[in-house]
Amino acid sequence: MSELLRLNNISVHFSGLKALTDVSFSASPGEVKALIGPNGAGKTTLFNVISGYVPPTSGEVYFKGQEIQGLTPHQISARGVRRTFQNGGLFGEMTVLENILTGMHVQINSHFLGLLFGTRKADEEEKAAAARAMRLLTLMDMAEFADQQVKSLSGGQQRMVEIVRTISTEPPLLLLDEPAVGLSPPMRTRMMEVIKRLAGEEGISILLIEHAIDLVMAGSDRIVVLCAGQNIAEGKPAEIRENREVLEAYLGYA
C-alpha cells in the first residue's frame, strides 16, 4: 500500500478564523513527512483533525482507505493513528521498561484472544512484549536505561521513552508535534536519527512538526509547508530549499 493517510481539501474554521484552507497531502508507510510553517500556520490544528480532536469544517481524512473524520479520538487511535502529547503521563517511580510494558498491556489485555488463551499464553505474550520493548529501546540507544526509574532520566530521555511507549503497540502512523523542543543540540540530533530509523526499520509512517529547519532538512523524506492555513509547497528537502516562495514565506528571506 503506497498511501496510508490521505487528506482531501481539509478546511477548519474557528468562528470566522480560517485555521486551515483546502489542505491536501498523503503519507506512505516508512516515510517521515515533516510539517513546517510559521507559528499559527495551522500545523497542530491539522494534527488535531487527523487524530479526531477537531472536526474539519470540510474535507475528508482517509486512513487505510477509509474515512476517519467524524470518529472519536479513541476510535482513531484504536485504528492505529497515534500521537504523543507534551505531558505523556509516564510513571516516574516505575522503570523505563515497566513504563513501556504498561503501554503495551493496554493492547494485550484488551485483546479478545488474550482472554481465550489463558495464563500460559499471557506469559508468552509478556515475554514477547518485553523482547519487543528491549529491541525498540536498543533501536533508540536507550537500552542501558531499561531498569532505571523514569524520574532519574533527563527530560529528553523521558521523551524518548514516551515515543518508545507510543510505538511499542506498532501503530502504522505516528504524529509527533515538536518532539525535539527543549532538548539539547546533541539530543535533538539523536531524536531525529531515531525518528528516521523508526520509519525505515519499523515501516512506521511518521508525521513530524518541527521548527528547526536544519533537523527537518536532515531527517525527513518529504516536507509539507503550511503558511496561514494553506499548503504552499511540498517536496523533498532539497526541493523545498530551492523554492523561493517557501524561503520568503517561511524562512524569512528571499
Ligand X SMILES: Nc1ncnc2c1ncn2[C@@H]1O[C@H](COP(=O)(O)OP(=O)(O)O)[C@@H](O)[C@H]1O
Applying CB under 5 A, which residues contact Mg ion?
43-44
* Maximum distance among all Cα pairs of the chain, rounded to whole angstroms: 65
- Reduce the secondary structure of 186-232 to three states and give it as a string: HHHHHHHHHHHHHHHHHCCEEEEECCCHHHHHHHCCEEEEEECCEEE
Residue 17 contact, options ligand X, Mg ion, none, Cβ 5-8 Å cut-off depending on partner type: ligand X
In the complex, least distance from residue 211 CB atom to ligand X, rounded to whole angstroms? 9
Binding-residue pattern over the window 22 to 51 for ligand X, x denoting contact by CB under 6 A: ---------------x-xxxxxxx------
In the complex, least distance from residue 229 CB atom to ligand X, rounded to whole angstroms? 7
Give, as ranges, the residues between 71 and 110 that touch ligand X (CB under 6 A).
none
Which listed residue (17, 113, 116, 254) binds ligand X by CB under 6 A? 17
Residue 231 contact, options Mg ion, ligand X, none, Cβ 5-8 Å cut-off depending on partner type: none
In the complex, least distance from residue 94 CB atom to ligand X, rounded to whole angstroms? 32
In the complex, least distance from residue 91 CB atom to ligand X, rounded to whole angstroms? 29
Pick between residue 13 and residue 79 the one whose CB is nearest to ligand X. Answer: 13
The C-alpha atoms of residue 126 and residue 115 are separated, in whole angstroms, by 14
In the complex, least distance from residue 208 CB atom to ligand X, rounded to whole angstroms? 13
Which listed residue (14, 86, 151, 185) binds ligand X by CB under 6 A? 14
In the complex, least distance from residue 221 CB atom to Mg ion, rounded to whole angstroms? 21
Pick between residue 4 and residue 226 the one whose CB is nearest to Mg ion. Answer: 226
Part of the chain binding ligand X (CB under 6 A), chosen from 12-20, 75-83, 148-156, 213-221: 12-20
Long-range CB pairs of 180-185 (<8 Å, 24+ gap) are 180/210, 180/212, 180/215, 181/211, 182/155, 182/156, 183/155, 183/156, 183/159, 184/156
Binding site for ligand X (CB under 6 A): 14, 17, 19, 37, 39-45
